[in-house]
Chain A
Amino acid sequence: MSGHLGPDILARARQLISLYPEPRSALVPLCHLAQEQDGWLRPEAMAEIAELVGVTPAEVQGTASFYDMLHLEPVGTYLVSICTNISCMLDGGLELLEHAEEHLGVGAGGTTPDGKITLEEAECLADCDHAPCVQVNHRYVGAQTPETFDALIEDLRAGRRSDEIPSHGTLIRVRRDGGLRADPEQVASERAAMAEAKARRAAEAAEAAGGEGGS
């Protein structure tokens, strides 16, 4: 199944995997990377991630489906998240969502026919002093009124915010450039030492339990 992720994404994926004591820890970060390439999690991408971290494609999908930010279906260029949780509800969040649904002609969870905007009803986004809180592709755009919301959508559609808000899937534009674990042999030997230490501790624990007459 390899070959779907492009060379740059693949190189970054391998680098991410090397940062963790166990490859599977990179599963979620790799899903974010695949979304950076495709905007959502294609089955081919999940299969390749599975190969990279050493699990089955079903395990990748089963894990990804747990998380709101990992999308198993296509998403618009801009994911617009409107919070309606308590602080935002007290400040008109539900009314703003209703307005957005009307203005965009899609319900929460839907994507506009031009594929530009996906609307989402969000839980608390931790920006309650700017309520009702709105994020576009997980970037805060400040409290919105129906009027400013319409202008925001117009700007997004016209590409006027594309510098500050990359298209959906790109989460972290800053690349790690310190503490890279570039030497595969070093990573492998660290992992082996860790596995050995863990096995030794397990054996010691089993022995201790046996000594106490535990079952």
Chain B
Amino acid sequence: MAVTDAPRIVTARIDHPDSYTLERALATGAYEGLRKALTMTPEAVAAEVDAASLLGRGGAGFPAGRKWAMLRQSPVTYLVVNGDESEPATFKDHLLVERDPHQLIEGVVIAAYALQVTRAFIFLRGEFALGLERVQAALNEAYAHGAVGADIFGSGFSVDIVVHPGAGAYICGEETSLLESLEGKRGFPRIKPPFFPAAIGLYGEPTVVNNVETMSNLPWIVTNGGAAFAALGEGRSTGTRLFALAGHVRNPGVYELEMAKTTFADLINAPVLGGGVRHGRELKAFIPGGVSAPWFGPDQIDLPLGQDEVGAAGSMLGSGSVVVMDDHTCAVRASWRITKFFSRESCGQCTPCREGSGWLERIMERIETGRGRPDDLDLLLDACDNIAPGLTWPPQQTTICVLGPSIPSSIHSAITMFRDEFLTHIKEGGCPHG
């Protein structure tokens, strides 16, 4: 069964053309979850999120409830929402901020109440001009409606929210880098330990950092109960999740699916979802969770869309984005472009990442453009091994953050799965795909 009858949790409202307005949001139940939360104790709200066992939807998949529990032992000062969606092929938060900003704001206030935080920041990717305007307009409406600000709905609880625009840097999606950026500095990741945001976060204060989609789930969880959320999905992968499908499929787009009940084959091929590989071509490979993830071949298409299942198969569900490549795709060109991305976006702090990404990109480029050398494949893998020793999954880390160890994924996958294509490029002095 391709699509289960699970309810749409975070995309319930978006089919309305005016889904982003307060009027439509109120007509479709917005802020009811918040009203309910305010009648509960903060601990009870946090307990519902814990019961939902909601895994963070940003990429790392850490349980949100446990993240909060770590903080409840000492007072939290700030809540920061990560809306710096930049992992290539990921475009789900883009949808949520443009199409349902009130759901996001409601989730932020619920989280702020559970954590008893009075200052929250929504960090949005700078390139989301429309998203920034929609969230700011919704925030203005929410203040006027009494849902944000002082004495929310007469409950005595107050929180101020600030929409903060980023300025174009992939690395700011990494939470400690995001905090540096929010402090008005270059987005250099901080070393962990000691700089776990829960302990030493924004301005050195205990801080919760959660993703936009994670926040957007909270109104439904409070309204319907954590148990109802946990009843969806399977194992640790509870609830529904947004999957962004891109590449060579008939219907690219964002789909909300019950976790672990649906497979990659369903997502890619079901007529109501991806609709299959387009132009009657065959599937060559797919990337299961953003370009930091190792690739899968057609033989892995029946894997379920579950965090642990994909992890056990040697990759990750990551940011929930799936890129489909058909059999006309040049594996060298695809992995070269991904490598070029990492080379451009390395923040430059750590030598293996800063230097390694540039070396790798130049070698990949010369292979793709027909100037490859016979020992280039060994050289590539050796350089990859210097960034992520052993080329294991999950990777060993030689750098402050995970950007560096993510670089080898696409190169290692492409060489392992399509070695002949690299050899053809090198022997024949060019790309056989033209």
Contact = CB atoms under 8 A, between A and B. Distances in A.
Interface of A: 19-22, 24-29, 31-32, 53, 55, 62-64, 66-70, 81, 84-87, 89-91, 94, 123-129, 131, 135, 137-140, 171-179, 181, 194, 198
A124 B87 contact: yes
A76 to B, nearest CB: 17
Nearest to B127: A138
Contact of A138 (B126, B164, B203): B126
A177 B127 contact: no
> What 3 A-B pairs have minimum CB-CB distances, sorted nearest first?
A178-B143, A68-B168, A27-B184
A93 B371 CA distance: 23
Nearest to A62: B186
Given A124-B88, A179-B143, A22 B149 contact: no
Interface in B107-152: 119, 125-130, 132-133, 136-137, 139-140, 142-144, 148-149
Contacts of B163: 176
A139 B132 CA distance: 11
B337 A66 contact: no
Interface of B: 85-91, 93-94, 119, 125-130, 132-133, 136-137, 139-140, 142-144, 148-149, 160-170, 181-187, 203-205, 244-248, 252-254, 287, 291, 321, 323, 325, 329, 333-334, 337-338, 341, 344-345, 347
B86 A86 contact: no
A127 B170 CA distance: 15
B168 A178 contact: no
Nearest to B167: A67
A176 B163 CA distance: 9
17 contacts: A25-B183, A28-B167, A67-B169, A85-B291, A85-B337, A86-B88, A86-B89, A86-B287, A86-B341, A87-B252, A125-B127, A140-B130, A171-B165, A172-B165, A174-B133, A178-B149, A179-B161
Contact of A63 (B148, B185, B334): B185
Majority secondary structure, B binding face: mixed
Contacts of B321: 128
Contact of A178 (B148, B203, B254): B148
A24 B246 contact: no
A9 B185 CA distance: 22
Nearest to B324: A90
B184 A63 contact: yes
Contact of B91 (A20, A21, A32, A128): A128
A168 B326 CA distance: 38
A123 B138 CA distance: 28
A124 B86 contact: yes
Contacts of B144: 178
Contact of B88 (A19, A24, A85, A172): A85
Given A89-B333, A124-B341, A129 B148 contact: no
B143 A69 contact: no
A172 B133 contact: yes
A20 B148 CA distance: 17
A68 B169 contact: yes
A177 B140 contact: yes
Given A27-B184, A28-B181, A172-B129, A68 B167 contact: yes
